[in-house]
Amino acid sequence: MSLADLFLRHLCQTSASPLGLTVARASGSTIWDTTGRAYLDLLAGMGVANVGHTHPEVVAAVTAQAARHLHVMVYGELVQEAQVRLAARLADLLGPPLDVVYFTCSGAEAIEGAMKTARKYTGRRRLVAFEGGFHGDTLGALSIGGNPLYRVPFEPLLPDVGWLPFDDPAALAAIDDATAAVIVEPVQAEAGVRIPSPGFLPALRRRCDETGALLVLDEVVTGFGRTGRLFAHQDAGVVPDLLVLAKALGGGLPLGAFVGRREVMDTLSHDPPLAHVTTFGGHPLSCAAGLAALDILLRDDLPARAAALGEELRSALEALVGHGGLVVVRGRGLLLGLEFARADLCAAFVRRALTEGLILGWTLHCDTVVRLAPPLVLGDAEAKEAVARIACALG
Q: What is the pLDDT of residue 86?
A: 98
Q: What span, in angstroms and rounded, lies between the C-alpha atoms of 145 and 139?
A: 10
Q: What span, in angstroms and rounded, lies between the C-alpha atoms of 217 and 1?
A: 46
Backbone angles phi, psi at 253, to 5 degrees: -110, 160
Q: What span, in angstroms and rounded, lies between the C-alpha atoms of 234 and 249?
A: 17
Q: Is the pLDDT of residue 331 over 90?
A: yes
Element (H, E) at 215: strand 214-218
Annotated catalytic residue within 200, 231, 235, 247: 247
The predicted model gives 174-193 an average pLDDT of: 97
The model's confidence at residue 4, banded by pLDDT at 50, 70 and 90, is confident
Q: What is the pLDDT of residue 20?
A: 83
The predicted model gives 143-154 an average pLDDT of: 94
pLDDT tens-digit series, residues 214-238: 999 999 999 999 999 999 999 999 9
Q: What is the pLDDT of residue 363?
A: 67
105 SS3 class: coil
- Say what the pTM is: 0.96
Cβ neighbours, 10 Å, residue 44:
26
Query: What domains sit in the chain, N to C, each tagged with a CATH number?
Result: 3-54+301-394 (3.90.1150.10), 57-299 (3.40.640.10)
Q: Is the pLDDT of residue 169 over 70?
A: yes
Q: What is the pLDDT of residue 209?
A: 98
Helices (H), 138-232: 139-143, 148-151, 200-211
pLDDT tens-digit series, residues 85-138: 999 999 999 999 999 999 999 999 999 999 999 999 999 999 999 999 999 999
Annotated catalytic residue within 218, 258, 340, 349: 218
Picking from 224, 219, 288, 286, the residue whose alpha carbon sits closest to that of residue 253 is 286
Q: What span, in angstroms and rounded, lies between the C-alpha atoms of 187 and 358?
A: 24
Q: Is the pLDDT of residue 365 over 80?
A: no
What one-letter code names the amino acid at 286?
S
Backbone angles phi, psi at 174, to 5 degrees: -70, -15
Give percent of the chain with pLDDT exceeding 90: 91
Give the largest Cα separation in the chain, rounded: 62
For 276-301, give the DSSP string. Answer: S--SSTT-HHHHHHHHHHHHHHHHTT
Cβ neighbours, 10 Å, residue 103:
29
Active site residue 266: no
Q: What span, in angstroms and rounded, lies between the C-alpha atoms of 355 and 164?
A: 40
Q: What is the pLDDT of residue 362?
A: 73
The model's confidence at residue 35, banded by pLDDT at 50, 70 and 90, is very high
Q: What span, in angstroms and rounded, lies between the C-alpha atoms of 192 and 280?
A: 32
Q: Is the pLDDT of residue 177 over 80?
A: yes
User: Using CB atoms within 10 A of its CB, is residue 368 exposed (0-12), middle (13-18) or buried (19+)?
Assistant: buried
Q: What span, in angstroms and rounded, lies between the C-alpha atoms of 83 and 282?
A: 6
Q: Is the pLDDT of residue 34 over 90?
A: yes
Q: What is the pLDDT of residue 11?
A: 87
To the nearest whole number, what is the mean pLDDT of the chain? 96
Active site residue 247: yes
Annotated catalytic residue within 41, 103, 130, 134: 134
Q: What span, in angstroms and rounded, lies between the C-alpha atoms of 278 and 110?
A: 11
The predicted model gives 330-336 an average pLDDT of: 97
What one-letter code names the amino acid at 210?
E
Q: What span, in angstroms and rounded, lies between the C-alpha atoms of 45 and 43?
A: 5
Whether residue 378 contacts residue 29, with contact meaning beta carbons closer than 8 Å, is answered with: yes
Measured CA to CA in angstroms, residue 45 lies from 64, 98, 107, 136 at distances of 24, 28, 15, 16
Give percent of the chain with pLDDT exceeding 70: 99
Peptide bond into 240 cis (omega under 30): no
pLDDT tens-digit series, residues 340-357: 999 999 999 999 999 999
CB neighbours of 108 closer than 8 A, spacing ≥ 6?
135, 136, 137, 138, 141, 256
Instruction: State the helix-helix crossing angle for 380-394 and 343-355, rounded to 10 degrees.
Output: 130
The CA R_g of the chain, rounded to the nearest whole Å, is 21
pLDDT tens-digit series, residues 285-316: 999 999 999 999 999 999 999 999 999 999 99
Backbone angles phi, psi at 300, to 5 degrees: -95, 5
Cβ neighbours, 10 Å, residue 64:
12
Q: Is the pLDDT of residue 75 over 80?
A: no
Please, which residues bridge with residue 340 across strands? 326
Q: Is the pLDDT of residue 18 over 90?
A: no
Active site residue 116: no
Helices (H), 95-194: 107-122, 139-143, 148-151
